[in-house]
Amino acid sequence: MDEKAKEWMNSPGARAGIKVGILAAMVLALLIPIFMIRGLVSEREQRSEEAQWGIIEQNGGSQSIAAPRLVVPYSFMDEAGDVQRRTIVVIPDQVSVDAVLEPRVLTRGIYEAPIYETDVVMTGVLTVPDRLATAESSDPLFAWDRAEFVIPLESVRGIRTAAEVTLNGEPIDVQSASIAQVGVSGITTHVGEDESLRSTIEGRQPIEFSVRLALSGGGTFTVSPLAQTAAYSLSSSWSDPSFSGSFLPSSRDISGEGFSAEWSATSIGMGVPTLWTSIPGSSNYYSAEMRVELYQPVSAYQLSERSVKYGPLFVILPFVALFLLETFAGLRIHPVQYLMVAAAKIVFYLLLLSLSEQIDFRLAFWIGAITTVLLLTIYVRAVAGTAGRAGAMCGMLTAEYLFLYAALQSQDYALLIGSIGLFVVLAAVMIATRSINWYSPRSEESAQGRA
């Protein structure tokens, strides 16, 4: 190596360039543990979801109940002379559904899931149309003695007590809670076996019905009040409902003590025919769902994952601060010391994840942040040699965690906050280094003057 090359290698600009290259390589290498932590967060979140799903399933699952309908088998002769069998499904003229949800939270180890018990009352009127012509035949043969009054239900495992079904003021036994003729699970009553009810149905007379059910479930509760006109009201002490499905409530009242909501719809608005044909055992089934989820605020795992996304930035910032400290104060900081600082910043995320599984996320965040800031302040005090420099590092680290906390708390504006924060950091570094001549040596006095 000639003298000019040696002189260039010993110049401040060359040393700064080499140090920047080493630090850049270290940052790239540190992305590996950051991505490993992101994977760990995802794994823990998946395990949490599996535990929640297990709790909900053991409690009856996410319940979905539909308004009653009348199912009547019929047969007809096709063009080849063979007898074909179908069922016709008739929805109520009008139905009113009232439900009260009593929620609670069940835990399994460190995991928890919202479950509920609900009392559902459905009342209404159902009338068989005068003309029941089908697409296959203008004169089908209806088996009125096999007519069924069906209440579709997602999970019969969630039935807590025997269903109370009243037709035209008379209680009727629930003979099965299995797969109905329309191909859905639910509660079935064989109304065709009752002579009086069979005569009413066959004579196209209205049937007034009342259904009372006590159910258990978890997560979500869905009602499909299929009728020519439908009204549905729901109340609960859960303070964070999330409404979804085909229709949103026409009115709602949400407070810290719970919520109440009301829906109204028609068969035209729901896109449901007043009657339809189904092949026995098929899944020809119409639905217009009104769903409520017992919503839980953003989980600790989601917040942890969002915080880890800022990991590369939070490793780069202390590197930049230490490099500027070297540049302006004339210090020599070894790459191992940079690595120690980065390791402390990465361990913060492990602390955050493990603590947030046991305590409130906000408390876990500040415990991890404060301990990390204290550790790095003490370490930088030993490296930099003065309390003032350590105090400057402490201020920068505190600002970092305040920035991160603000970004985590504001999900809708997280990208905006992150972009502004990154721009501010870049601007500060550019302003601080704007007068440095990276090719010319500086005097120690100049360096100390800028420190």
Report, as an integer, the average pLDDT of 429-445: 62
Is the confidence at residue 417, as pLDDT, over 90?
no
pLDDT reported for residue 443: 40
pLDDT reported for residue 211: 93
Mean pLDDT, the chain, whole residue set = 81
pLDDT per position as a tens digit, 308-352 = 888 888 888 888 888 777 777 667 778 888 888 888 988 999 999
Give percent above pLDDT 70 in the chain: 85
In the chain, where are the structural domains located? 3-47+301-450, 60-296
Is the confidence at residue 9, as pLDDT, over 60?
no
Report, as an integer, the average pLDDT of 160-183: 75
Report, as an integer, the average pLDDT of 262-282: 79
CATH architecture assigned to 60-296? Sandwich (2.60)
pLDDT reported for residue 160: 84
Q: pLDDT confidence of 96, banded at 50, 70, 90? A: very high
Q: Of 84 and 102, which is predicted with more confidence?
A: 102
- SS3 letters across the chain: CCHHHHHHHCCHHHHHHHHHHHHHHHHHHHHHHHHHHHHHHHHHHHHHHHHHHHHHHHCCCCEEEECCEEEEEEEEECCCCCEEEEEEEECCCEEEEEEEEEEEEEEECCEEEEEEEEEEEEEEEECCCCCCCCCCCCCCEECHHHCEEEEEECCHHHECCCCEEEECCEEECCCECCECCCCCEEEEECHHHCHHHHHHHHCCCCEEEEEEEEEEEECEEEEECCCCEEEEEEEECCCCEEEEECCCCCEEEEECCEEEEEEEEEHHHHCCCCEEEECCCCCCCCCCCEEEEECCCCCHHHHHHHHHCCHHHHHHHHHHHHHHHHHHHCCCCCHHHHHHHHHHHHHHHHHHHHHHCCCCHHHHHHHHHHHHHHHHHHHHHHHHCCHHHHHHHHHHHHHHHHHHHHHHHCCCCHHHHHHHHHHHHHHHHHHHCCCCCCCCCCCHHHHHHHC
Q: pLDDT confidence of 57, banded at 50, 70, 90? A: confident
Q: pLDDT confidence of 93, banded at 50, 70, 90? A: very high
